[in-house]
């Protein structure tokens, strides 16, 4: 059964009071199990609302964060479509089991680039889940830690590199067609002076006039 590792976006207002958040405000983010599915729901609270809330439901994960309005970055022609962040979003949304290793490696790459920060780690029956928050947009990624064996790390990293920079297909070279042989005899080659035998040479010395009948 697939786990819903969808991206959880940051809310613009408190889940309890409805108060709109302002830039730079410290808020409490929390993820709760979704009773209607096997996934999770995200809710964001002001600190006052969080401290005053009744313990009606236990959060799966919670952390303190700073609210910033969502940033929508426009892509330019110079931006590569398959950069690590875009590729991670794509793989998370597709949610294919065979990409678990790649998703984890990409999340670690983005954490090292200071784009994501790990906010929590939770153990569940299916394994270890790591919660990452995007520093700019506030989006949260729930990534399963596949516990990649050390012997497989290089192979997985190579798979990720191929996903980020797929090699173009090499088109086969055009085969040069040989000229058709019509079995026609070739034209005789011109005879050079070197190919003339002494018997074939003229007895007339070059530069001397030919004899006339009177001289004979």
Domain residue ranges of the chain, discontinuous segments joined by +: 26-164
Q: What does the pLDDT profile of the chain (216 residues) look like in tens digits?
A: 345 556 788 889 999 999 999 999 999 999 988 877 777 889 999 999 999 887 778 888 999 999 988 765 544 433 345 688 999 988 888 888 888 899 999 999 999 999 999 999 988 888 899 999 998 888 899 999 988 888 888 888 888 888 887 665 455 555 555 555 555 555 555 444 444 444 444 444 445 555 555 554
- Name, in order, each residue with C-beta under 8 angstroms of 26's C-beta and a sequence gap of 6 or more: 47, 64, 65, 66, 67
Residues 74/41, Cβ–Cβ less than 8 Å: no
Distance CA 210, CA 86 (A): 98
Which pLDDT value is given to residue 75?
A: 44
Residues 142/5, Cβ–Cβ less than 8 Å: yes
- Name, in order, each residue with C-beta under 8 angstroms of 17's C-beta and a sequence gap of 6 or more: 46, 49
How far apart, in Å, are the Cα atoms of 102 and each of 84, 148, 179? 10, 10, 52
3-class state of residue 153 by DSSP: helix
Which pLDDT value is given to residue 179?
A: 55
Least Cα distance to 43 among 58, 29, 22 occurs for 29
CB atoms within 10 A of CB 104: 20
What's CA 195's distance to the chain center, in Å? 71
How far apart, in Å, are the Cα atoms of 111 and each of 7, 39, 106, 137, 198? 16, 24, 9, 14, 94
DSSP summary character for residue 149: -
Which pLDDT value is given to residue 93?
A: 85
User: pTM for this one?
Assistant: 0.64
């Amino acid at each position: 059964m697939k786990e819903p590792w969808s991206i959880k976006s940051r809310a613009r207002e408190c889940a309890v009071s409805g108060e709109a958040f302002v830039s730079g405000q410290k808020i409490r983010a929390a993820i709760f199990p979704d009773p209607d599915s096997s996934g999770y729901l995200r809710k964001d609270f002001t600190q006052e609302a969080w401290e005053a809330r009744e313990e009606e439901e236990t959060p799966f994960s919670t952390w303190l964060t700073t609210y910033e309005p969502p940033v929508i970055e426009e892509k330019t022609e110079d931006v590569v479509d398959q950069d690590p962040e875009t590729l991670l979003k794509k793989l998370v949304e597709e949610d294919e089991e065979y990409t678990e290793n790649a998703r984890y490696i990409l999340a670690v790459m983005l954490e090292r680039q200071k784009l994501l920060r790990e906010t929590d780690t939770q153990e569940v029956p299916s394994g270890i889940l790591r919660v990452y928050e995007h520093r700019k947009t506030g989006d949260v990624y729930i990534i399963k830690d596949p516990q990649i064996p050390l012997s497989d790390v290089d192979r997985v990293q190579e798979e990720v590199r191929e996903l980020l920079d797929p090699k173009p297909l090499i088109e086969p070279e055009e085969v040069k067609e040989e000229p058709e042989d019509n079995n026609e005899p070739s034209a005789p080659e011109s005879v050079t002076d070197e190919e003339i035998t002494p018997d074939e040479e003229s007895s007339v010395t070059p530069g001397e006039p030919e004899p006339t009948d009177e001289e004979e």
